[in-house]
């Protein structure tokens, strides 16, 4: 659309509204479904999503036009959810999650019951948000390997195309969520320093940083990677082709086209929740060799957890997001000390966790004077809190996280005059880590390399890493309830304000268990309420989780 006379502009606007109406008629909103832009966008059964995708297309274009044509990302994925689910989330120009102030607009548009109400809400929204519809828009989108992806992409494209030539689209095809975030950030980076905005650019950037960090410490020990039968398998193959044999990677669970295989009995969520090896990894026997370690990605490769078998008893040992955060934060603190930057440029390293962080990890960090912030679940919350540090390490216990280097930290490192070869080396390594680590979002592939690089620098195996602290026994339970919206959490989701009286009951039960801690929160990605419990012993953690689950069931009207 070009800027033109009032009559022509009115005509163009009418044409646009007609195209929206045509598209909306192809993708009517199903009755009796209420959508919410949750922890990580919209997520539900794929069959309920076409109308949402069409409308998300409209919103993404509004956002891009509002930001004078900055590139907005759209990822079609349901990450750790089972295969029949799908979802969609928007990515802001910085590569971060959509600005939370726009989430209600996404919810409102997706719930318009008819084409007429959609048109009128769209018009109101465009005016209210002061969007100049004559501006250009740029959109990049991708999907994971779910079979429902192509149909949903069609609905999305219909939403984007109603704007005609004013919208430029870049279809990345099948790729991981973090690669999409990377491409968005790199595309919008005017300095072109972040990287080349393509999948190849991502692989090249990480391979270069990893090679610098490993130096003559390679080739490293083999690593077994459970790809959750998802898109991580595709990205891992492309990446290892770019990396060469510095890190011998053995992908497992790579059946991306086998129906029902995605996240089924495998993947990071399975391992973390069940606190067990995926049966496929167990039966492959790859961990039976002493010193072997493996890791699991989730369905869209934005989470990772590691594990190994304890040598004496062959017990499963989990190295989750907390263990990654602690090891990485301690390592970066050491590098910062070694870098010996002058007082004025001394870098502050801090860690951001959620209520799910194991109590032992928080204690370990705080007892070593590393500041820890606790925020609500959802990468968007962690990311913003981590930006308050010079080097902000954020990880959810489920393995979702990254490390952010502030612009001033990078500047200070680049401008530093090292006082010794050791200091020069530490500075070089800090800069290489900032290149290796995805600065936009948690990234299983980049985090895998981060962990391997830190282990190589420390000269550690999995058991050395694990030796830092012992997790308190814990349980994570999904409770299905008729209406999870009655559960309202506060205080970084550590307490409930609703249903009335439930929090007091939870605390009363908690007090009966030594080192007992428990909280309840509604999931933002699945139709359930989550109960977390930890206590001094396994049986106490189990009993505490059961007791709180009973309270939740009772409070939601189930006996």
Residues involved in catalysis:
79
Residue 278 touching ligand G16 (CB under 6 A): no
* C-beta closer to ligand G16: residue 263 or 429: 263
Instruction: Reduce the DSSP state of residue 44 to 3 states and report it.
Output: strand
Distance separating alpha carbons of residues 348 and 437, to the nearest angstrom: 18
Residue 355: count other Cβ atoms within 10 Å of its Cβ: 21
Residue 530 touching ligand G16 (CB under 6 A): yes
CB of 423 to ligand G16, least distance (A): 36
From the centroid of its chain, how far is CA 220? Answer: 27
Residue 400 touching ligand G16 (CB under 6 A): yes
From the centroid of its chain, how far is CA 147? Answer: 21
Distance separating alpha carbons of residues 471 and 28, to the nearest angstrom: 49
DSSP string, 501-542: THHHHHHHHHTTSTT-EEEEEE-SSSSSEEEEEE-SSHHHHH
Q: Which residues from 196-255 bind ligand G16, rule CB under 6 A? A: none
Distance separating alpha carbons of residues 526 and 177, to the nearest angstrom: 18
- Secondary structure of 87-137 in the HEC alphabet? EEEEECCCCCECCHHHHHHHHHHHCCCCHHHHHHHHHHHHHHCCCCCCCCE
CB of 128 to ligand G16, least distance (A): 28
Residue 96 touching ligand G16 (CB under 6 A): no
CB of 456 to ligand G16, least distance (A): 27
Considering only 158, 434, 503, 525, the residue that binds ligand G16 (CB under 6 A) is 525
CB of 91 to ligand G16, least distance (A): 12
Q: Which residues from 31-90 bind ligand G16, rule CB under 6 A? A: 39-40, 79-80
Residue 435 touching ligand G16 (CB under 6 A): no
* C-beta closer to ligand G16: residue 102 or 163: 102
Instruction: Reduce the DSSP state of residue 273 to 3 states and report it.
Output: helix
Segment near ligand G16 (CB under 6 A), from 363-371, 376-384, 460-468, 508-516?
Answer: 376-384
Segment near ligand G16 (CB under 6 A), from 98-106, 238-246, 276-284, 395-403?
Answer: 395-403
Distance separating alpha carbons of residues 478 and 295, to the nearest angstrom: 23
Considering only 103, 298, 322, 534, the residue that binds ligand G16 (CB under 6 A) is 298
* C-beta closer to ligand G16: residue 39 or 439: 39
Residue 377 touching ligand G16 (CB under 6 A): yes
Distance separating alpha carbons of residues 545 and 474, to the nearest angstrom: 8
Considering only 88, 304, 379, 496, the residue that binds ligand G16 (CB under 6 A) is 379
Distances (CA, A) of 514 to 384, 505, 540, 541: 34, 17, 8, 10
* Lookup: tokens for 556: 């939601």
Residue 143 touching ligand G16 (CB under 6 A): no
Distance separating alpha carbons of residues 94 and 89, to the nearest angstrom: 15
Residue 438 touching ligand G16 (CB under 6 A): no
* C-beta closer to ligand G16: residue 55 or 303: 303
- For the stretch 508-523, what's the b/e string if a residue is b when 16 or more beta carbons lie within 10 angstroms of its beta carbon? ebbeebebbbbbbbbb
Segment near ligand G16 (CB under 6 A), from 142-150, 151-159, 320-328, 525-533?
Answer: 525-533
* Lookup: tokens for 198: 């393509």
Q: What angle do CA 86, 91, 92 make, to 5 degrees?
A: 160
Residue 494 touching ligand G16 (CB under 6 A): no
Q: What secondary structure letter does DSSP report for 499?
A: S
Residue 396 touching ligand G16 (CB under 6 A): yes
CB of 526 to ligand G16, least distance (A): 5
* Helix H or strand E encompassing 265: none
Segment near ligand G16 (CB under 6 A), from 136-144, 221-229, 393-401, 480-488?
Answer: 393-401
CB of 157 to ligand G16, least distance (A): 23
Considering only 461, 523, 542, 546, the residue that binds ligand G16 (CB under 6 A) is 523
* C-beta closer to ligand G16: residue 526 or 540: 526
Pairing mode of beta strands 488-490, 495-498: antiparallel
DSSP string, 144-212: -S-TTHHHHHHHHHHHHHTTGGGEEEEEEEE--HHHHHHHHHHHH-TT--S--SSHHHHHHHHHHHHHH
* C-beta closer to ligand G16: residue 302 or 390: 302
By CB under 6 A, the count of residues binding ligand G16 is: 18
Residue 302 touching ligand G16 (CB under 6 A): yes
Residue 524 touching ligand G16 (CB under 6 A): yes
Residue 303 touching ligand G16 (CB under 6 A): yes
* C-beta closer to ligand G16: residue 23 or 299: 299
CB of 7 to ligand G16, least distance (A): 47
* C-beta closer to ligand G16: residue 461 or 524: 524
Distance separating alpha carbons of residues 468 and 192, to the nearest angstrom: 39
Binding stretches for ligand G16 (CB under 6 A) = 39-40, 79-80, 298, 302-303, 377-379, 396, 398, 400, 523-526, 530
């Amino acid at each position: 659309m070009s800027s033109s006379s009032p009559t022509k502009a009115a005509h163009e606007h009418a044409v646009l509204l007609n195209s929206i109406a045509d598209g909306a008629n192809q993708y009517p909103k199903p009755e009796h479904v209420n959508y919410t832009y949750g922890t990580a966008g919209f997520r539900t059964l794929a069959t309920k999503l076409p109308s949402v995708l069409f409308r998300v297309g409209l919103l993404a274009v509004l956002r891009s036009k509002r930001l004078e044509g900055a590139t907005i990302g759209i990822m079609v994925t349901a990450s750790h959810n089972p295969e029949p689910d799908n979802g969609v989330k928007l990515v802001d120009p910085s590569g971060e999650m959509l600005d939370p102030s726009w989430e209600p607009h996404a919810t409102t548009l997706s719930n318009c019951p008819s084409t007429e109400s959609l048109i009128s809400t769209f018009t109101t929204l465009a005016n209210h948000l002061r969007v100049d519809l004559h501006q250009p828009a740029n959109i990049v989108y991708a999907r994971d390997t779910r079979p429902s992806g192509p149909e949903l992409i069609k609905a999305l494209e219909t939403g984007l195309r109603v704007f005609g030539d004013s919208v430029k689209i870049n279809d990345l095809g099948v790729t991981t969520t973090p690669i999409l975030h990377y491409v968005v950030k790199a595309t919008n980076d005017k300095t072109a320093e972040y990287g080349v905005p393509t999948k190849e650019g991502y692989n090249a950037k990480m391979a270069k940083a990893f090679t610098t960090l490993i130096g003559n410490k390679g080739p490293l020990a083999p690593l077994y990677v459970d790809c959750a039968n998802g898109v991580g398998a595709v990205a891992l193959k492309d990446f290892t082709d770019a990396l060469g044999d510095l890190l011998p990677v053995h992908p497992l669970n790579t059946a991306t086209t086998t129906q029902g295989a995605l996240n089924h009995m495998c993947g990071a969520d399975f391992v973390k929740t069940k606190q067990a090896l995926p049966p496929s990894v167990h039966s492959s026997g790859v961990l039976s060799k002493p010193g072997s370690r493996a890791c699991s990605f989730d369905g869209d490769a934005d989470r990772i957890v590691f594990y190994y078998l304890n040598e004496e008893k062959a017990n499963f040992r989990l190295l989750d997001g907390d263990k990654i955060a602690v090891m990485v934060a301690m390592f970066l603190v050491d590098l910062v000390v070694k870098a010996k930057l002058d007082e004025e440029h001394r870098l502050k390293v801090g860690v951001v966790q959620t209520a799910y962080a194991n109590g032992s990890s928080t204690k370990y960090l705080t007892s070593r004077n590393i500041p820890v912030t606790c925020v609500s679940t959802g990468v968007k919350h962690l990311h913003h809190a981590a930006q308050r540090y010079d080097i902000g390490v954020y990880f959810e216990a489920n393995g979702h996280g990254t490390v952010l280097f502030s612009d001033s930290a990078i500047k200070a490192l680049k401008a530093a005059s090292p006082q010794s070869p050791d200091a020069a080396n530490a500075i070089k390594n800090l800069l290489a880590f900032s290149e290796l680590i995805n600065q936009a979002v948690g990234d299983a592939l980049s985090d895998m390399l981060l962990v391997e690089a830190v282990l190589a620098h420390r000269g550690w195996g999995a058991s050395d890493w694990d030796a830092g602290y012992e997790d308190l026994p814990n349980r994570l339970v999904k409770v299905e309830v008729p209406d999870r919206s009655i559960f309202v959490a506060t205080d970084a989701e550590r307490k409930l304000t609703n249903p009335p009286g439930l929090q007091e009951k939870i605390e009363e039960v908690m007090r009966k268990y030594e080192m007992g801690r428990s909280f309840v929160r509604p999931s933002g990605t699945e139709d359930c309420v989550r109960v977390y419990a930890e206590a001094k012993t396994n049986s106490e953690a189990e009993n505490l989780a059961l007791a709180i689950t009973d309270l939740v069931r009772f409070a939601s009207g189930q006996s």
